Amino acid sequence: MEAEHLHPAPSIHPTAIVETGAAVGEGTKVWHLSHIRSGSRIGDDCIIGFAVYVDTGVVIGDRCKIQNHVSVYQGVVLEDDVFVGPAAAFTNDRYPRANPTTWEIVATSVRRGASIGANATIVCGVELGAWSMVGAGALVTTDVPSHGLVTGAPARLRGWVCTCGRPLVRLGELPPERCSHCGRTSAGMVPS
């Protein structure tokens, strides 16, 4: 009989709040002063940094890293291998008011392997494509294609990045055969 692969239990700092009904995966680390709401689901082997807020209904995949001071609000789904930089912000209401008579949560999808830079703002209702990269301080108001690199406020498509995260090509340039950093072929990463 083969030995079962043992995953460590989640590691939750004593100052963190994990409400009853929240699911935190094996090997996940939740750091100081973070708050994980009931009804949220965090996958295996994630890192939830200092003072992170994960709202009810949020889904976070496996191997995600969420840096310090990030709030992930209801309606946000982060697939596997997503990176969220320090103080990045998600929204979930297109017409916010302090005392609304109606409130509609607008979904946001962050696909596998996407990276969001520090202090970026992701306005609700967008999709960040697989392995895309959002530059630090960007204001994302529209969808980002897979492997797309966006920067600025509002964020604009500037070029394409490899799965390893390194830039492949700027808009309007011919794509290389391979990534100069990791050697992956750029076919399929850069639209023709």
Task: Identify whether 1 is part of a domain.
Answer: no
Task: Identify whether 52 is part of a domain.
Answer: yes
The Cα–Cα gap between 111 and 102 comes to 29
Task: Identify whether 186 is part of a domain.
Answer: no
Task: Identify whether 105 is part of a domain.
Answer: yes
In CATH, what number is assigned to the domain containing residue 65? 2.160.10.10
Q: What is the pTM of this model?
A: 0.94
Residue 179's φ and ψ, nearest 5 degrees, are -70, 130
Task: Identify whether 179 is part of a domain.
Answer: no
Tokens 């960007």: give the residue: 138
Collapsing DSSP states into helix, strand and coil, what is residue 42? Answer: strand
Task: Identify whether 190 is part of a domain.
Answer: no
The Cα–Cα gap between 175 and 192 comes to 8
List per-residue pLDDT tens for the chain, 192 residues long.
Answer: 455 567 799 999 999 999 999 999 999 999 999 999 999 999 999 999 999 999 999 999 999 999 999 999 999 999 999 999 999 999 999 999 999 888 899 999 999 999 999 999 999 999 999 999 999 999 999 999 999 999 999 999 999 999 999 999 999 898 899 999 999 998 889 887
Residue range of the domain that includes 105: 11-170
**Which residue type, as a one-letter code, is found at position 79?**
E
Number of domains in the chain: 1
Task: Identify whether 177 is part of a domain.
Answer: no
Cβ neighbours of 75 (radius 10 Å): 20
